[in-house]
Amino acid sequence: MVEGDVCDEELLTKLLEEHKITHVVHLAAQAGVRYSLRNPQSYVRNNVECYIHLLEALKNKADTVKLVYASSSSVYGRNTKIPFAETDSILQPSSLYAATKGADEAMAKVYNHLYGIRSAGLRFFTVYGPWGRPDMAAFSFTNSIMNGRAIKVYNKGNMMRDFTYIDDIVSGVVASMDFCAETGIDVFNIGNNEPIKLMDFITTLERSLEKKANMNMVEMVQGDVPMTYADIGHSQRVLGYQPTTSIDEGLRKFAAWYLADERKDEIEGFANDGEWNAQ
């Protein structure tokens, strides 16, 4: 465990030299659509500048080190074809966050072409579960419901998300590490292949918490999209990826963790009043 900044290329190079590292799994990023409207520079630094420093540190290790990095379902942007497939265009991002993640994928192609860096980009679809981001729906809704605050339901509930439980995300990451050991470069959808209506998500969460939500219906914000839906056929064929956690089971597990684990207070303060954050 080393505390450091991914933008510190000297530190990254030193770690790669001192340790027999075979895989780099790069999950550090500034995530979220809505915050990118308020603080765009954070996305440029963390998602683009730091990523370039990492690629530069890796370019002389292309023969021995493979890269797995987090992309996002947000790269599909204003694409209207459903479900989203890896072959679909990502040239119409609807947020700066999506644009930075698309740029990461493009830079991975450049560094593969120039230096032979093998990589797998993972387009995660709305990850949830214990220790999840406090601004995402599962945590922020639960935080508000249990503390008697109203949740903000964007687009008046007319939204769908391909919620993917953390255990399934981890299985996709591990499988992509094996992929990198065999071949060159690719991107994969890591989702649940089953979009859930926002109102059904809330109903299931209420049932898991045994408490009703007070809802404040609001309009959809700039940069958001009404639906995400992962076509996981490519991930199944190449990685053997297969999600196994239903929304009912996943929210039961999340609710049990939230209600039992006092350590949640360490991140609870960052929840932003039940806002629905699309990723």
Q: Which residues are catalytic?
A: 97
d(CA 125, CA 147): 27
Q: 79-115 in b/e burial notation, b at 16+ Cβ within 10 A?
A: beeebbebebebeebbbbbbbbbbbbbebbeebbeee
Within its chain, how far is the Cα of 160 from the centroid? 16
d(CA 51, CA 54): 5
d(CA 167, CA 129): 8
Cβ atoms within 10 Å, residue 257: 16
The DSSP bridge partners found for residue 152 are 216
d(CA 84, CA 92): 13
The two structure tokens encoding residue 188:
């994969």
CB 79 within 8 A of CB 89: yes
CB 204 within 8 A of CB 102: no
Q: Residue 65: phi, psi to the nearest 5? A: -120, 135
